[in-house]
């Protein structure tokens, strides 16, 4: 059997699924040894995925195309899941709480499952169309997806915060007691939103420069551009409300979830529902 990037990336899907199940089991049954195993499985999946992405890059050169694997929906989904796991592992290492994995690794699992098994997503390596033949492609995609991945983790933290808030007096015991404190989750939500906001801002700027190079204009009010700006405003409002109005906790958690819904629509909804200059970034 020939070892291909598609095979390794498909295997990664099942590894992340196993990690998500282990994290969830660790939270529900409070078995610490399973948490250690979940971390080990997640790191294994991350390493396998890294090798798979590197192999896909090599395969691109072998086919004579020679481009970074960031050029279509399949490759962007793979990269999104890879960055999401990276951001999560950094948070787990900092906070020393593995329950967060039950709310973060599913995002990476769903992204890989959709990339690997959806009939609408094609994993063939193809030559770049003229608009994508630019070094700005790498800068734009990497910065945007660093933002998207951070927002995914912030959304997971927001869900955790709302669940813990609903617990009332019981939040300090049982399943809710295992979750990080609301103060810690609020701080992590803020940090991941700030981190994601900075990278999304850079992504929008690099995209504008690239657009001027490819299409002769910095901004065209293309649906993808418009929704990227809407997403940027959602997180700008969250940060503004925190800095100026002192919003914390539940309100920021709700904005973190709304913001990620906007990210999902910018990422998928625009591709499938609205045609525009970014239509090349859909399923092919």
Torsion sign over Cα 237, 238, 242, 247: positive
Q: Residue 284 pLDDT > 50, yes or no?
A: no
| Cα distance between residue 255 and residue 169, in whole Å | 25
The predicted-structure confidence for 35-80, as pLDDT tens digits, reads as follows: 999 999 999 999 999 999 999 999 999 998 888 898 888 999 999 9
Average model confidence (pLDDT) for the chain?
A: 90
The model's pTM is: 0.90
Per-residue confidence (pLDDT) for residue 280, from 0 to 100: 53
C-alpha separations of 182 from 163, 167, 175, 185, 253 in Å: 10, 11, 14, 5, 11
- CA gap 131, 144 in Å, rounded: 18
Q: What is the pLDDT of residues 272-281, one digit of tens each?
A: 777 666 655 5
Residue 114 CA to residue 118 CA, distance in Å, equals 5
Tens digit of pLDDT for each residue in 69-121? Answer: 988 889 999 999 999 999 999 999 998 889 999 999 999 999 999 999 888 88
CA 202 to CA 208: how far, in whole Å? Answer: 10
CA separation for the pair 97, 108 (Å, rounded): 18
pLDDT in tens, 239-276: 999 999 999 999 999 999 999 999 999 988 787 777 66
């Amino acid at each position: 059997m020939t070892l291909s990037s598609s095979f390794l990336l498909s295997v990664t899907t099942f590894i992340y699924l196993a990690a998500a199940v282990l994290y969830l089991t660790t939270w529900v049954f409070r078995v610490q040894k399973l948490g250690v195993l979940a971390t080990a499985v997640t790191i294994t999946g991350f390493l396998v995925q890294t090798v798979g992405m590197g192999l896909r890059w090599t395969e691109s050169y072998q086919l004579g195309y020679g481009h970074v694997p960031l050029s279509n929906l399949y490759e962007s989904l793979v990269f999104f899941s890879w960055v999401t796991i990276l951001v999560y592992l950094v948070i787990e290492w900092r906070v020393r709480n593995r329950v967060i994995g039950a709310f973060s690794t599913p995002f990476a699992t769903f992204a890989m499952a959709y990339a690997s098994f959806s009939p609408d997503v094609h994993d063939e390596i193809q030559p770049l169309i003229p608009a994508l033949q630019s070094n700005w492609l790498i800068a734009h995609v990497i910065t945007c997806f660093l933002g998207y991945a951070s927002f995914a983790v912030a959304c997971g933290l927001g869900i955790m915060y709302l669940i813990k808030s609903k617990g009332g007096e019981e939040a300090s015991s049982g399943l809710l007691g295992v979750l990080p404190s609301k103060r810690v989750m609020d701080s992590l939500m803020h940090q991941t939103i700030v981190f994601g906001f900075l990278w999304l801002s850079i992504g929008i700027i690099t995209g504008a420069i690239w657009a001027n190079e490819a299409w002769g204009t910095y901004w065209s009010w293309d649906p993808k551009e418009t929704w990227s700006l809407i997403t940027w405003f959602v997180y700008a409002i969250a940060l503004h409300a925190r800095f100026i109005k002192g919003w914390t906790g539940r309100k920021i958690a709700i904005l973190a979830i709304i913001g990620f819904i906007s990210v999902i629509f910018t990422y998928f909804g625009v591709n499938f529902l609205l045609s525009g200059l970014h239509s090349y970034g859909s399923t092919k």
